[in-house]
A and B are shown apart, each in its own frame.
Chain A
Amino acid sequence: LAKTTQPISMDSYEGQEVNITCSHNNIATNDYITWYQQFPSQGPRFIIQGYKTKVTNEVASLFIPADRKSSTLSLPRVSLSDTAVYYCLVGDLDSGGYQKVTFGTGTKLQVIP
């Protein structure tokens, strides 16, 4: 299973765009990249998932370069309620590999007023 590396923490002011990058150098051909958000004492919540190029939904965008060795989660115009831990997961959904991974330390985002 691909190992992921993320910054431990980030600070951002309200209203700014936040980009969190995840490195996954040994990503496999069938692996997808998925990001989850977790608030204290709550379960992780799915944000976005992608395989290559760019994916956008109502919450975030995910940028994946051609070599897929990294990915960047982009949160537009963050608010105080976006303060949370963000996890990058890499795995193959079809084999179930994605689901059995440990989440990793994640990136603790602190949004400042």
Chain B
Amino acid sequence: EPEVTQTPSHQVTQMGQEVILRCVPISNHLYFYWYRQILGQKVEFLVSFYNNEISEKSEIFDDQFSVERPDGSNFTLKIRSTKLEDSAMYFCASRGGQARGTEAFFGQGTRLTVV
């Protein structure tokens, strides 16, 4: 079964450092998403990406965040200057198309710990 792959599984970084979280969506999927989940809290939408540009973003996704699809397979989330409150699980998801019934597939997540 095709799956969304995220690397690394766990990243520890110092406050103020830049981090890049990587995702390989399912091949031939068109829509890509990042979500985060702070420990014990809800899964929160960050951003959606389609046709090489951001289609939607939440208020959480401020100027410290950016996304990129540098090649045909990877989808990255960059946090420029990490803060303690950025510590969370970050999930990447991809979806095949806009047709109804095309559910999003989630990766296993990257646990980001900012110290």
Number of A positions contacting B (CB below 8 A): 23
Residue B51, interface by CB 8 Å: no
Given A41-B109, A45-B106, A46-B104, do A101 and B91 touch, yes or no (CB 8 Å)?
A: no
One of B12-20, B42-50, B77-85 contacting the partner:
B42-50
The complex places the Cα of A99 from the Cα of B106 at a distance, in Å, of: 12
Nearest chain-B residue to A32 (Cβ)? B100
Given A44-B91, A102-B45, do A49 and B101 touch, yes or no (CB 8 Å)?
A: yes
Q: DSSP majority for the A interface?
A: loop
Given A43-B91, A87-B43, A101-B45, do A94 and B106 touch, yes or no (CB 8 Å)?
A: no
A41 touches B58 (CB 8 A): no
Number of B positions contacting A (CB below 8 A): 28
Residue B55, interface by CB 8 Å: yes
Residue B65, interface by CB 8 Å: no
Residue A5, interface by CB 8 Å: no
Nearest chain-B residue to A51 (Cβ)? B100
Residue of A34, A100, A101, A104 contacting most chain B CB atoms (<10 Å): A100
Nearest chain-A residue to B105 (Cβ)? A46
Q: Closest Cβ of chain A: how far from B62's Cβ, in Å?
A: 16
The complex places the Cα of A38 from the Cα of B58 at a distance, in Å, of: 22
Residue of B93, B103, B106 contacting most chain A CB atoms (<10 Å): B103
User: Which residues of A are at the interface with B, using a C-beta cutoff of 8 A?
Assistant: 32, 34, 38, 41-46, 49, 51, 87, 93-94, 96, 99-106
> 8 extra interchain contacts, Cβ-Cβ under 8 A, other than A43-B91, A96-B48?
A41-B109, A43-B4, A45-B106, A46-B105, A93-B98, A93-B99, A93-B102, A102-B42
